[in-house]
Each structure stands twice: as C-alpha cells, then as structure tokens.
Amino acid sequence: MWSTLRRLWHFFLAGFVVTFVVYLFIRFDANKVLLGIVVGAAGGLVISVIIFALERRFPERNSSDQLN
C-alpha cells in the first residue's frame, strides 16, 4: 500500500511541477523562467555532487556491519 501511495505522490508531484513551469512561461518572461530553471538545476547538481561525495567519504554503518 505504501509503495502505491508513494508512486501516486510522485505522479502528482511531477504533474504539479510540469504544470507550474508551464504557468510560469505563460505568466512571466520566458528568458527569466529559463534562467531560473538553469540556476535551480545547477544548484541541485552541486548539492547532489556534495551529498554523493560525503556518502562515499562517510558510508553508513548497518547493524550487521557492527557485528563483524
């Protein structure tokens, strides 16, 4: 049941984001919207790389790892 709700939440979220971006293109200047999307994507990429590097540097220890 939770996996179905999570999947439906992802569908809702994707639809919301797409609709919101279309609304921004209609409401505001397209160049400003594209600049905002590029800046947001660059920020997301930087954060993703930082989190990935930190997870490789400091891996999580599972309870089975602690027993060995």
Global pTM reads 0.62
pLDDT at 61 over 80: no
- CA-CA-CA-CA torsion sign (19, 20, 21, 27): positive
Question: Given pLDDT bands bounded at 50, 70 and 90, which one contains residue 64?
Answer: low
pLDDT category of residue 63 using cuts at 50, 70 and 90: low
Can you read off the two tokens belonging to residue 60? 């999580």
The per-residue pLDDT for range 3-49, each reduced to its tens digit, is 889 999 999 999 999 999 999 989 999 999 999 899 999 999 999 99
